[in-house]
Structure 1
Amino acid sequence: MSHLSKFFQKQFHVFFSYKNNLIKLLSIFLFFQFFTVCDAGQNAEKKEILLRLISEFQIDLQKNLESAIRTKGVVGAIDVCRTISTEKEAALKTEFPGILIRRVSEKPRNPNHQPDAWETEIFNQWKESQKKQNTPYTVILSKNTEVRILQPIILQNPTCLQCHGSPKDINPEVSKKIAELYPKDQAKGYKLGELRGAFSAIW
């Protein structure tokens, strides 16, 4: 075989070796792109479901609380508020394994509703935003296959002040009941329009 033939044969192998490697690299790239798109689509669906569940939770809680106040008075409604929230959280966890939805606050009534580090960071951002007369916004974090949502709860209903307003304005019987059920209560001293807490969801 001539030197020229050997040269062309070598170039031929180099070309196809390069081509094969290029195809492999392209295949790997497309493989990861496919799963990236799938993850993005999956997270978008999770976000939609979580926002719906939070909305249903909020509506259900408000409806039951208003009904309890009408039928049992404010003192009697405190027991309802105490149980319905935890029952709803547990029911959602059972119905949707892998989903955690709860209420959190920097001044919680229930000590189990303390915010975690990420939630605390968002609360701080909201407070800074309110100083500039901006309304707190819903925060959605999508990381890998996990979605987190923190939706602010603004105290808008004057009825809420009967349990969460200034201590001097709260009925003594209501204060007594709160103290019995929540010895470490911090959830007083609010005014209308203030940030009361948030609905937190993780999936």
Structure 2
Amino acid sequence: MNHYLLLAAPLMLLMYSSCDRPSTADTTVNTTDHAAAAEIGEQASAKLMKTLGTQLKSALQQGGPENALHVCQQIAQPLTAEVSRDDVNFKVTRTALKVRNPLNAPDVTSREIMEKWQRLMSGGEDLPEHEIIESGDQLVFYKPIMTQEICLKCHGDSNSFSAELRSNLNRLYPKDEAIGFKKGDLRGAFRVEISTDGL
């Protein structure tokens, strides 16, 4: 009996060892999922940026920063939701460390990622084009939003704002944090939740 146990023990160890190792197929699937998520995330981010950017540029041309603020307050959230409406496999939102609309406040993971990006920038390093993390049955795509010249009209030095703009900001966003930015600063991030079932 002991003789059979001695023979079986190495075989059992080998079987357990094989079970613990991730297979090449699993790694390939994971890599493929991440590549697909990156493509979806880039497309969703670009679509949202174009959609919001077009509306805000038009509002600025028609009535300056004061008009752009009203347009943004009225349409930014509905337009953001609309970008995701055609596809049940993803949801795109915007977030930031310093938000104007409390609805865009970051969760713990989003805050950690953006704080890491801030540290990279402080150290003179380039930011990644995007970052993807796993969260349950989802992959979550993050893409940095950098402050452009046009953003400064409503998010720059508040001393340069008109009295009307400052008054409107205080009225519409009494807890506004999103001012004092300079061109090239990290403004925030696009966040795209992607269901792995659809990949």
TM-score (norm 1): 0.77
Q: In 1, Cα distance between the equivalents of 2:162 and 2:37?
A: 42
Change (3 A) 1:142 1:108: closer
Q: Percent identity?
A: 27
Counterpart residue identity of residue 85, structure 1: A
State the 1:42 CA deviation: 3.6
Q: Match for residue 139 of structure 2? A: 147
Kindly indicate whether residue 115 of structure 2 is the aligned counterpart of residue 124 of structure 1. Answer: yes
Kindly indicate whether residue 167 of structure 2 is the aligned counterpart of residue 170 of structure 1. Answer: no
Secondary structure of residue in 2 paired with 1:102: strand
State the 1:183 CA deviation: 1.4
State the 1:139 CA deviation: 3.5
Kindly indicate whether residue 145 of structure 2 is the aligned counterpart of residue 156 of structure 1. Answer: no
Q: In 2, Cα distance between the equivalents of 1:110 and 1:161?
A: 17
State the 1:136 CA deviation: 2.6
Q: Is the 8 A contact 2:38 2:132 kept in 1?
A: no
Change (3 A) 1:38 1:130: closer
Counterpart residue identity of residue 151, structure 1: K
Counterpart residue identity of residue 56, structure 1: K
Kindly indicate whether residue 92 of structure 2 is the aligned counterpart of residue 91 of structure 1. Answer: no
State which of 47, 68, 72 in structure 1 corresponds to 2:63.
72
State the 1:112 CA deviation: 0.9
The number of residues matched between the two structures is: 189
Q: In 2, Cα distance between the equivalents of 1:82 and 1:39?
A: 39
Change (3 A) 1:39 1:195: closer
Unaligned runs of 5+ in 2: 1-11, 195-199
Q: In 1, Cα distance between the equivalents of 2:30 and 2:113?
A: 25
Secondary structure of residue in 2 paired with 1:96: coil
Change (3 A) 1:139 1:168: same
Q: Is the 8 A contact 1:89 1:100 kept in 2?
A: no
Q: Is the 8 A contact 1:92 1:99 kept in 2?
A: no
Q: In 2, Cα distance between the equivalents of 1:135 and 1:76?
A: 34
- Between stretches 123-132 and 38-47, larger displacement belongs to 38-47
Counterpart residue identity of residue 200, structure 1: R
Q: Relative CO higher for 1 or 2, CA cutoff 8 Å, sep ≥ 6?
A: 2
Alignment root-mean-square deviation, CA: 3.1
Q: Match for residue 82 of structure 1? A: 73
Kindly indicate whether residue 47 of structure 2 is the aligned counterpart of residue 47 of structure 1. Answer: no
TM-score (norm 2): 0.78
Q: In 1, Cα distance between the equivalents of 2:187 and 2:33?
A: 31
Change (3 A) 1:35 1:55: same
Q: In 1, Cα distance between the equivalents of 2:126 and 2:164?
A: 34
Q: Is the 8 A contact 2:95 2:104 kept in 1?
A: yes
State which of 172, 188, 198 in structure 2 corresponds to 1:181.
172
**Alpha-carbon displacement from aligned partner over 1:155-178 (angstroms, at most 9, x marks no partner):** 121x32221111211111111111
Unaligned runs of 5+ in 1: 1-20
Q: Is the 8 A contact 1:103 1:197 kept in 2?
A: yes
State the 1:131 CA deviation: 1.4
Kindly indicate whether residue 182 of structure 2 is the aligned counterpart of residue 191 of structure 1. Answer: yes
